Structure 1
């Protein structure tokens, strides 16, 4: 979606009203999406590092290759986890009757709360500077590449 017009001017009874609401709304939404994208990259990277340290995971790459994230435009939210066709990802995270829950995704998120706050703050502080905000906003779709670390 392209950047909306910078201003809307309305003349009424000799008074000119200038509104930047549409542009500000667009900038907020795009900065939020960019912050979510970078947060997801961080969590996925740290999650893969933890998975590689687990016993037997150095040879078995399918679990950490199945990690993926989605920053959804319409819902304006972040989803991170294991691909839908990787039953071993859910079983590893949640556990089964025969194996304990590892909680890699949950623990990774909790362990990196300070870094997540720093990333979010970096983007949201750019609201004050329109040029800086435009430089942080990317127009590409945000789905993590398969197997990319």
Structure 2
């Protein structure tokens, strides 16, 4: 009779972690987008137009990126300014001021992978 040898078996969780990492961008981009939009709306001056109400974000899954802006065609004139309108930037300063908060949101979304 042959004796069984004791072998240790390991369960690989690499595939599970890869899947979670690939799913994460769409999850935390939505959180970051909603946070930045709310902060940018606070910075924008209240006007009669739709620029403040139209401020929104687009979290694109295929490209794995985040776009923040408005659908208003005249928004770049207020953001960058031109010869008739002084610039009133709201998006870029908001992102620059909240870089630490954005990094904390990203770390929090990936922190559950540490246990696996």
TM category (shorter chain) comes to 0.7 to 0.9
Q: Distance in 2 between matches of 1:124 and 1:33?
A: 12
TM-score, normalised to structure 2, is 0.80
Please say if 1:26 is aligned against 2:14. no
Report the 3-state secondary structure (helix = DSSP H, G, I; strand = E; otherwise coil) of the residue aligned with 2:74: helix
- The structure number with the bigger radius of gyration is 2
TM-score, normalised to structure 1, is 0.64
Please say if 1:98 is aligned against 2:61. no
Structure 2 matches for 1:31-110, cutoff 5 A?
31-51=24-44, 54=45, 57=46, 59-83=47-71, 86-110=72-96
Report the 3-state secondary structure (helix = DSSP H, G, I; strand = E; otherwise coil) of the residue aligned with 1:65: coil
- Which structure features the higher share of strand residues? 1
Deviation at 1:17, TM superposition (A): 8.3
- Which of 117, 120, 144 lines up with 2:103 in the alignment? 117
Aligned-residue CA RMSD (Å)? 2.0
- Unaligned residue ranges in structure 2 (runs of 5+): 1-8
Contact 1:32/1:123, CA 8 A, preserved across alignment: no
Report the 3-state secondary structure (helix = DSSP H, G, I; strand = E; otherwise coil) of the residue aligned with 1:27: helix
Contact 1:69/1:80, CA 8 A, preserved across alignment: yes
Deviation at 1:41, TM superposition (A): 0.7
Q: How many residues align?
A: 108
Contact 1:36/1:71, CA 8 A, preserved across alignment: yes
- Unaligned residue ranges in structure 1 (runs of 5+): 1-15, 131-149
